[in-house]
């Protein structure tokens, strides 16, 4: 599987590389997978299959992982509020964001930031 934050490989199907760039360029938007497939000239089913083959993960899962990684990085590198980070990462519901973040990183966003601040001192 390719890490959502890593540069793209030269061997990646250009249609999938385009889709990944679109997802990475707009973390604040809830990009519809069917529309993304259409944008790269694939049917939704074909897009999901090729994306999973190329990336080792579904497009939906990749989008979520990228948005969470984007949020984690913003919590580490900015003084934005958790609500601002949540919105910049494309999450509309704070409890859903906190739940997903905690499931992925083991801490709620506020706890994560507090822990990182303590370590940095």
Q: What is the rounded CA–CA span in Å between residue 10 and residue 28?
A: 26
| CA atoms lying within 13 Å on the CB side of residue 72 | 18
Q: What is the rounded CA–CA span in Å between residue 41 and residue 78?
A: 37
Of 45, 63, 81, which one is at a domain's C-terminal end? Answer: 63
Q: Are residues 114 and 92 in the same domain?
A: yes
Residue 3 lies in a domain: no
Residue 93 lies in a domain: yes
Share of residues in the chain with pLDDT > 90 (%) = 81
The predicted model gives 77-104 an average pLDDT of 96
Domain range for 53: 14-63
**Where residue 47 sits, what CATH number does that domain have?**
1.10.10.60
Using a 10 angstrom Cβ sphere, with 0-12 exposed, 13-18 middle and 19 or more buried, the burial of residue 10 is exposed
Asked if 71 and 104 touch (Cβ cutoff 8 Å), the reply is: no
How confident is the model over 85-96, as pLDDT tens digits? 999 999 999 999
Q: Are residues 104 and 80 in the same domain?
A: yes
Q: Are residues 79 and 108 in the same domain?
A: yes
| Number of domains present in the structure of the chain | 2
Q: Are residues 113 and 101 in the same domain?
A: yes
Q: Are residues 26 and 52 in the same domain?
A: yes
* Confidence (pTM): 0.84
Cβ neighbours, 10 Å, residue 55 = 22
Q: Are residues 54 and 27 in the same domain?
A: yes
The predicted model gives 18-41 an average pLDDT of 94
Q: Are residues 48 and 71 in the same domain?
A: no
Q: Are residues 59 and 80 in the same domain?
A: no
How confident is the model over 43-76, as pLDDT tens digits? 999 999 999 999 999 999 999 999 999 999 999 9
Residue 21 lies in a domain: yes
Q: What is the rounded CA–CA span in Å between residue 10 and residue 108?
A: 36
């Amino acid at each position: 599987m390719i890490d959502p934050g890593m540069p793209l490989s030269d061997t990646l199907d250009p249609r999938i590389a385009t889709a990944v760039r679109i997802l990475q360029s707009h973390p604040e938007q809830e990009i519809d997978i069917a529309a993304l497939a259409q944008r790269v000239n694939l049917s939704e089913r074909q897009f999901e299959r090729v994306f999973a083959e190329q990336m080792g993960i579904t497009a939906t899962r990749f989008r979520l992982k990228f948005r969470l990684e984007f949020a984690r990085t913003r919590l580490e590198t900015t003084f934005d509020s958790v609500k601002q980070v949540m919105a910049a990462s494309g999450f509309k519901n704070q409890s859903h964001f906190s739940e997903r973040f905690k499931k992925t990183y083991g801490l709620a966003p506020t706890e994560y930031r507090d822990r990182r601040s303590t370590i940095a001192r």
